[in-house]
Structure 1
Amino acid sequence: MRLPRRVPWAHISELEQVCSWIYADENDLDAKVLAVNRLAAWKATTSLPHALESTHALLVVVLQDAAQQGQGSSSFLSLRQSYATAVIRLVNGLVDPLQLGAYARSINSIAAQLGLPAWLVELRHAATHEDLPSIDVLREAARQAMAWLLQNYFLPTLNPSVPPTSQSQRPTLRPLAPLLKHYKTLAKATVRDATLAIKYRHEAARVLRDVERWIAEAKIAAPVAATAWDDIDEDEGGDGDARERWAVERLVDALLEKGAFVPVSKRKRVLSSAEFHPSALTLNIWTPLLTHIEPLHPSLPAVLVSKIISHLSSQDIPHLAAQAPDEDVVLLDAEEEREKHRQDMSYDRCVAGWANWLVDTYGGKDDEECEDSDGYLSREEVVLKLVAALGPTRSVSETRKKTAQELLRGLSKGHPALEKASSLVSNMPQPTSINTWQDTNMELMRERLSTLLSLSRGSPSSSVDTSDNSETMDPPHTVRGPAATSPSHLPPGWRKVTRDDGWRPSPIGVFVPCAAA
């Protein structure tokens, strides 16, 4: 759950008023003075978002410039320095929080994704390392910076449903498939010939850096919020977490495509005979990539397993021939149907093997911080998701159901509690349309419920008592004696108040005094 975000204004109308003071009339200096005073008051009470901080700095310099022009001053050195400082802080404050990867990216590429004018980045560089730009150039930079803040902060914040105008001008996220293909080529060559590892070492490191840069670019391109760059680096579970999740999910989608984790050739999709894992060649190719990315993005294994389970618990897409058997549809013959079925089943078994390997490799870490995080991969949680997906009320295709059951057996192997839950699901009878409930059915349901509850709560001792105690339960509004009002399971010093003590039911929140109180 996303925590509330603290803002300096009491109501959004206050921000709207500040925006009108700044942008309604460019020549209205009195309104800009009101905006500066309001921003200064906000700054005294709480920290401002970077956009408002930069707006305040630019407005102060604009007012200073207007005052000096009225006095006829010819010294612009202090103004040039103030303008340059405001622009430098604006660009740095936008770009630095988005250096999210392990490897630095160019400021120009990040600014391009934000829609920030490229020449402002060049002006920042010149003002920092070269001769100070002229006053006319700096004035134009301040004007364009204020226009960018209007389009990318004020308007999206006041109207969250309206995307910023620069959104359509941002470059699209470049495809990841070419990078993965290049990495696969290098990894396959070094796996087959270990002597090439030194030759391709620098090239492989460069590809890994490119993949990490792609993830950083995906975070910026994530459609989370129009003003997410304000708090992208917060540690309170805000937009930064949502962007991380979105970027990792896009990476997972690319990894699960045929040609990546799943080889194109069906012969190479055969799992290991000893364990329900991908083949040794496939693991040797892709393990270095996972080993490099997982410490930087710990949620990657959990997202991968979640995507695989969602795939295995979904229905097969029906063929066009079954949906619209007309003359324009080429009907698949029986041999083509069987071939497509075998191909899909080999894909399902391959990704299922990856899920089992990921749980064996990254699941069950004894780290309390990891257990509290969204990226924690728990074997018990994965088994519970599979049990829920294979339940009698879920419609899963038969081919994927067999693969999911095989994965369930692989995950439960060597764990007695999980093996018991797996056997219950595997031996579950198919539901029938005739309602023929018997006492044995209820006993079977209680046994399954007890097993699953003990699994979900961590130990068999924590399961609830599912025995049939309907005969010992009191009917509604039954008066019980004082001897029966102190059950043994209540904490010491507590007892159950009944109607004999003067208690009577009342709505929640209404205090009704009784004699026992």
Structure 2
Amino acid sequence: MRTFPQSKCCVKLLTRSVYALLSIASRPTLRHIQSMQWLLNRYFLPTLTPSDNADPERIEVPPLDSLLTEYKTPMKACLRDTSLQGRNKAEVERLFKGFSAWISDVSTLYAVDLSIRGSESDITAQKLKFATRKFCERLCDKNGLVPLSKSKRTPLSAPLGHPPNQDIWAPLIQHFDQANEYFIDELLTHMLLLVNNGIIAESDPTYSKTIASWVLWMVDTMGDEAFRKDCVRDLLSGAGSEGGNSM
């Protein structure tokens, strides 16, 4: 662990980090003591004493559960009453900006923790790709694309189809498909890793099948023929070599 060197470059980095910290802390969710403690331990202190051998996958990112839950509320309301779509449009757009801000926060955290060096374009790409991957991982957690309740997931007894909650999450996926060049690749890569994970399939088969149904939905609704073939091949391999996992 090295101490923070007194150079113009590092002072500039620290100043940027302070402004980013203030921007993050202005959010209502960071009024909680737990969130402020996270910022101190995971954001500000690493800026002062960055690790020489930091592993990007060990970076602890801020929670996303509250924002995912907040997003579902207006979407479910619109499904129950279509007349609310116009009224809730601004709220949904605000939440999209909240997700984008989360990605931006994580990308800044990545750069600070790892003290990345390189051209500005390379650094920007690394930061965004890492943050997008973490966003996709959180999105695939239970309470996101996969409902907490197993009864609301894709049934094991039914043929693989589109996910039952597609109307809630499809607008978000379509939004970030347009807004983030890495989103679809990172989301599909993570989904296919989950589908092909035998341990997950055995311990929570409805989770695996719901993720598989999202892959199928993406194959059916976006991408070209080569994209579809690659996804179908990887999706089918998730059935395993010993009779499949009920997909």
TM, length-normalised to structure 2: 0.69
Equivalent position amino acid for 1:278 in 2: P
- The whole-number CA distance in structure 2 between the counterparts of 1:162 and 1:274 is 47
Counterparts of residues 47-446 of structure 1 (less than 5 Å): 51=9, 108-109=19-20, 161=52, 173-222=61-110, 226-228=114-116, 231-232=119-120, 234=121, 238-270=122-154, 276-279=161-164, 282-316=165-199, 344-364=204-224, 378-385=227-234, 401-403=244-246, 406=247
Q: CA deviation at 1:316?
A: 1.8
Q: Residue 189 of structure 1 aligns to a residue in which SS?
A: helix
Q: What is residue 35 of structure 2 aligned with on the other side?
A: none
1:227 offset after TM fit, Å?
3.3
2:27 is matched with which residue?
A: none
The alignment covers a number of residue pairs equal to: 216
For the structure 1 residues 274 and 192, does the alpha-carbon distance in structure 2 shift closer, same or farther, using more than 3 Å as the test? farther
Instruction: Return the structure number with greater relative CO, CA threshold 8 A, min gap 6.
Output: 2
Give yes or no for contact 1:225–1:239 (8 Å, CA) kept in 2. no
Could you tell me how far 1:268 is from its partner in structure 2?
2.0
Q: Which runs of 5+ in 1 are unaligned?
A: 1-18, 24-49, 56-86, 99-106, 114-150, 164-171, 318-339, 366-376, 391-395, 407-517
Distance 1:193 1:387, change over 3 A: closer
Distance 1:230 1:243 in 2: 12
Deviation at 1:264, TM superposition (A): 2.2
Deviation at 1:216, TM superposition (A): 0.6
CA RMSD between the two structures: 4.1
Q: How many angstroms apart in 1 are the aligned matches of 2:159 and 2:198?
A: 29
Shift in Å at residue 350 of structure 1?
0.9
Q: Which amino acid aligns with 2:199?
A: D
Q: Is the 8 A contact 2:132 2:183 kept in 1?
A: yes
Tell me, yes or no, if the aligned pair for 2:146 and 2:153 is still in contact at 8 Å.
yes
Q: CA deviation at 1:219?
A: 0.7
Deviation at 1:207? Answer: 1.4
What's the offset of the Cα at 1:278? 1.1
State the Cα distance separating 1:352 from its structure 2 match.
0.5
Residues 140 and 146 in structure 2, CA contact (< 8 A), matched pair in contact too: yes
Question: Secondary structure at the residue paired with 2:178?
Answer: coil
Contact (CA 8 Å) 2:195, 2:209: kept in 1 or not? no
Write the letter of the residue equivalent to 1:211.
F
Q: CA deviation at 1:206?
A: 1.5
SS in structure 2 opposite 1:316?
A: helix
Q: 1:198 is paired with a residue of what secondary structure?
A: helix
Residue 209 of structure 1 and its aligned partner are, at CA, apart by: 1.0
More helix as a share of residues: 2
Identify unmatched segments of 5+ residues in structure 2: 25-45, 55-59
Percentage of identical aligned residues: 24
Is residue 364–residue 378 contact of structure 1 (8 Å, CA) maintained in 2? yes
> How much does 1:242 deviate?
2.3
C-alpha contact 1:262 1:351 (8 A) present in aligned 2? yes
Distance 1:221 1:264 in 2: 29
Q: Does structure 2 retain, via aligned residues, the 8 Å contact 1:248–1:303?
A: yes
Q: 1:224·1:243 contact (CA, 8 Å) conserved in 2? A: no
Shift of 1:265: 2.4
Q: Deviations over 1:112-149 (max 9, x none)?
A: 78xxxxxxxxxxxxxxxxxxxxxxxxxxxxxxxxxxxx
C-alpha displacement of 1:296: 1.6
Alpha-carbon distance in structure 2 between the residues aligned to 1:173 and 1:348: 24
TM-score, scaled relative to structure 1: 0.36
> How far 1:387 sits from its partner (Å)?
6.6
Other-structure match for 1:78: none
Residues 392-425 of structure 1: per-residue CA shift (max 9 Å, x gap): xxxx5958x334xx4xxxxxxxxxxxxxxxxxxx
Q: Distance in 1 between matches of 2:79 and 2:47?
A: 48
Distance 1:203 1:402, change over 3 A: same
In 2, Cα distance between equivalents of 1:199 and 1:358: 28
